[in-house]
């Protein structure tokens, strides 16, 4: 029996990494470190919106400043219900 593949923004998720570290913004910091260590550039935090991740890219705007077309080009996203205190998840797309 095949398991259903996870999607986000209509894109298939290839990798999922979860960070749950105690302390204010600690999960975000751990996720940010993983992203940078794995060659991803990050957009700026934008409230509860996702944070865009791109490989080999110099500048990424906040999510609300990225067009829908550009959103479909991102290589991954960092998401959380509340970046300040809750777990953070990184989704990498196919």
CA distance 67 to 27: 27
Query: What CA–CA distance (Å, rounded) separates 75 from 90?
Result: 11
Q: Which residues contact 4 (CB under 8 A, 6 or more apart)?
A: none
* pLDDT digit string, tens, across residues 26-69: 999 999 999 999 999 999 999 999 999 999 888 899 999 999 99
Question: Considering the entire predicted model, what is its pTM?
Answer: 0.92
pLDDT tens-digit readout, 75-94: 999 999 999 999 999 999 97
């Amino acid at each position: 029996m095949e398991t259903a593949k996870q999607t986000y923004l209509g894109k298939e998720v290839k990798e999922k990494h979860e960070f749950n570290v105690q302390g204010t913004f600690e999960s975000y910091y751990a996720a940010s470190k993983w992203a940078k260590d794995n060659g991803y550039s990050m957009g700026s935090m934008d409230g509860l919106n996702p944070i865009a991740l791109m490989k080999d890219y110099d500048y990424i705007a906040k999510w609300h400043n990225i067009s829908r077309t550009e959103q479909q080009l991102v290589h991954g996203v960092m998401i959380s219900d509340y970046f300040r205190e809750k777990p953070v998840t990184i989704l990498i797309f196919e």
